[in-house]
Amino acid sequence: MKIADIVALAPVIPVLTVEELGHAVPLARALSAGGLRVLEITLRTPVALAAIEAMRKAVPEAIVGVGTLTRAVDFAAADRAGAQFGVTPGLTPELASAARGARFPLLPGVMTPTELIAARTAGFTVLKLFPAQQAGGIGMLQALGAPFPDVIFCPTGGITRASAPDFLALPNVACVGGSWVAPRAMLAAADWAGIEALARDAAALRKT
């Protein structure tokens, strides 16, 4: 799948930090059952790659991606784990080169117009605005819309259930990334029913 197809599948992409490998499969099942099939697993814990592999095997209906790719070597490891898409917080020539050699599509992060131009020159027109709130949020996305009409965004960083609808209302926003659908307390308590309910609510935030 192309990254444009992936970001169009759901209004919210859960940004997930999996601390315990045993949580990976029930978490993916809960989110998918709630209507959020596209999942981003961040490379912030020692079990992240194993979590991706476990989710891919046990929850085939989910589209499992890897986030926080910051080094070229991360792409090969993510590929071996079965990642179906990648996400970076920024974009360097090295990361762009690694993305061209990867078997999965990339959603690269940008924060400024200069970074956007560099990403577009490298062939990317579906981008993550990150960190979205600190980068200017709604106002920044509106300002980028006119000079870059061919670019669409998945803003991530500081977006909440309350602010998500305002982002999704923008014509150049395909979806948002959010961590509120899998809060740490619910993960620690293995409250899969609660996470599924949050996912169901987030999935209802369809673009109008």
Residue 110: inside a domain? yes
Residue 208: inside a domain? no
Residue 74: inside a domain? yes
Chain segment 9-37, per-residue pLDDT in tens = 999 999 999 999 999 999 999 999 999 99
Residue 72: inside a domain? yes
The letter for the amino acid at 8 is A
Chain segment 108-120, per-residue pLDDT in tens = 999 999 999 999 9
Q: Containing domain of residue 35, as a range? A: 3-203
Measured CA to CA in angstroms, residue 140 lies from 82, 109, 118, 134 at distances of 34, 14, 17, 10
> Rounded to the nearest 10 degrees, how much is the dihedral formed by the CA atoms of 202, 180, 130, 155?
10
Residue 32 to residue 35: CA distance in whole angstroms:
5
Count of the separate structural domains present in the chain: 1
Q: What is the pLDDT of residue 206?
A: 79
Chain segment 116-160, per-residue pLDDT in tens = 999 999 999 999 999 999 999 999 999 999 999 999 999 999 999
Q: Which residues are catalytic?
A: 40, 128
User: In this structure, what CATH number is given to the domain that contains residue 115?
Assistant: 3.20.20.70
Residue 66: inside a domain? yes
